Chains A and B, each alone.
Chain A
Amino acid sequence: MSVDLKTVKRVAHLARIAVSEDDAHRMTGELNAILGFVEQLNEVDVSGVEPMTSVTPMEMKKRVDAVTDGNKAADIVANAPATDENFFLVPKVVE
């Protein structure tokens, strides 16, 4: 399978990365080189093989159902580009 320019632009939008026309052209070539490389996986007979879900056979640990952390709003917003009284500020999303 290979991607065309239109698909690259669509994927860039899905990934929320702005791309120029030049970027999209270059990426089309690069992505096709990688997709060409991974194509060999189709040779492998995987009938009856389960997809891997966990590399170590283990049951996922569950945390105790208790409040163990919190009261650190100031720490959480400390690195944000724009804040107001412990809220993250973003451009208006609702008209």
Chain B
Amino acid sequence: MTDLTHLTIAEAREKLRGKEITATELTDAYVKAIDQANATFNAYVATTPDKAREMAKASDERLAKGEGGALEGIPLGIKDLFATEGVHTQACSHVLDGFEPRYESTVTANLWADGAVMLGKLNMDEFAMGSSNETSYYGPVINPWRRSRTETVVMPTTHQGDGGFVAAGGTRTARTYDNMQLVPGGSSGGSAAAVSAFLCAGATATDTGGSIRQPAAFTGTVGIKPTYGRVSRWGTVAFASSLDQAGPIARDVRDAAILLKSMASVDAKDTTSVDLPVPDYEAAIGKSVKGMKIGIPKEYRVDGMPEDIEALWQKGIAWLKDAGAEIVDISLPHTKYALPAYYIVAPAEASSNLARYDGVRYGLRVPGKDIIEMYENTRAAGFGREVKRRIMIGTYVLSAGYYDAYYLQAQKVRTLIKRDFELAFAAGVDVILTPATPSAAFGVADEDMAADPVKMYLNDIFTVTVNMAGLPGIAVPAGLDGHGLPLGLQLIGRPFDEETLFQAAHVIEQAAGRFQPEKWW
């Protein structure tokens, strides 16, 4: 029997509807896989097997009556940033110690309404601040991918009668794996690792500067950050409200389309939720890209970028061209300023959003001699180093006398970044193709990154522009580097044109194939 955890959402949906398998069997397979492997990966910070079995049983009843929803019986992992009623919700921070909300986020409520099953809450960087999942209060997540070397062994030739000399086995590749632990990227590192290691069929994630797309690229999975306003932020722990968007991480492009359809909605509870009907994203998959105009921005060719990534980008261009798309060179001149502007805007918004964690209404409280000292002690003990760093930067750039020099300047630069994209789209470009990350997954506790926070921030150099401009972006796996690690390409689309992203990403997926880590756990 095939391992049920290896089915895509689309395949499982088919088998569930055809009554070949039950939701209970599928859920049990995942619960078992998590039991066996979570200690290795640290992907889940809380599991809900009883709830999962209960939800699966209800799904089976609905499926039996032919009343199944779009995700009926599909077991999902939920990033710890989404409020789930009565279940661990801490944004992987100590400051939210013991918090179990009495309400459900709009995103997860939408998923449950469509019949999905909750397996548990997934690890992440604390308050989604990080690019390696190492800032989590619950410790790092381990990437299911490992570095490897391949050696080509030439098999001895043998004499074959009258046919002359032929190679018996040709060449054989022997692969040796490195035991170094790699990060899965972040902040949605638990989501990406769980999807890649078959510990859930798909996962929710969020992206403020690249937190869906970078971990997807590091794990050979597909991740989409939708247009700002497409997915409700209600009930999602806020990091930087003008940049935060939720989206899915999935095993392939079709599964990402299925999940986004359910996650997205028009929500009166989020004033930035846009009043546009949610399209059937899956219908875009398989449509030809013939005549589509693909922009290649020259500013995404950065110093020190590994050759593997440049080569992959060229491959992506060739695949789309072969599929009939037109390739045009474009310029997005303010690209290099996106990351510095982000490191003013995002911490400024975070310092304001995180002011609510004061030991009064929820979570941790550390006493002090008066109320001010109680706030200060609570926040000193509750927040990790990276979160404190960002609150401090945010507080500084918003403080009296510095607002104009930093925050206002950054918001003006943000206008220019958005204008670059608007001009490209106005010139007829349908979608922009770039690398997803400037490197493949790196090691846990990388010394260079630990010594210099800016080095870690550079991970988001290709993704952060998209958040600054509020656009949709998808990361799709496109190949392996010289060490056998996955690399991704990113497609950036017009506002609310996620369909074109799925359409083009599917062409890349068809050409590149799908990537799964070799099981070692």
Contacts and interface: CB of A to CB of B under 8 A. Distances in A.
A55 B375 contact: no
Given A75-B102, A80-B362, A52 B411 contact: yes
20 contacts: A3-B396, A15-B391, A17-B379, A18-B380, A27-B388, A27-B389, A33-B454, A38-B340, A44-B337, A44-B412, A44-B416, A46-B416, A51-B412, A55-B469, A56-B229, A56-B495, A61-B268, A62-B271, A75-B103, A92-B371
Nearest to B383: A17
A79 B358 contact: no
B392 A46 contact: no
Nearest to B398: A14
Contacts of B410: 38, 41
B447 interface: no
Contacts of B374: 90-91
Interface of A: 1, 3, 7-8, 11-19, 27, 30-31, 33-35, 37-42, 44, 46, 49-56, 58, 60-63, 72, 75-82, 88, 90-93
Interface centre among B101, B388, B418 (most CB of A within 10 A): B388
A30 B453 contact: yes
A5 B134 CA distance: 27
Contacts of A88: 360-361
B376 A78 contact: no
B399 interface: yes
B372 interface: yes
Nearest to B357: A16
B310 interface: no
B370 interface: yes
B409 interface: yes
B458 to A, nearest CB: 9
Given A49-B416, A50-B412, A61-B275, 7 more contacts: A1-B405, A17-B383, A39-B340, A41-B341, A58-B272, A61-B271, A79-B362
Given A34-B343, A56-B272, A79 B101 contact: yes
A55 to B, nearest CB: 3
B389 A30 contact: yes
B99 interface: yes
A11 B371 contact: no
Interface residues of B, number: 75
B408 to A, nearest CB: 5
Nearest to B452: A33
B465 to A, nearest CB: 12
A81 B362 CA distance: 6
Nearest to B411: A51
B360 A49 contact: no
A17 B360 CA distance: 15
A79 B337 contact: no
B12 interface: no
Contacts of B242: 54-55
B363 A81 contact: yes
Contacts of A42: 409
Q: When A and B form their complex, which 9 residue pairs have the shortest distance between CB atoms, in order from nearest? A: A55-B470, A51-B411, A81-B365, A18-B380, A18-B376, A75-B102, A79-B362, A46-B412, A38-B340
Nearest to B467: A55
B413 A41 contact: yes
A52 B101 CA distance: 33
Contacts of B373: 18
B399 A11 contact: yes
Interface in B395-446: 395-396, 399, 402, 405-406, 408-416, 418
B393 interface: yes
B368 A34 contact: no
A58 B370 contact: no
Contacts of A14: 395, 399
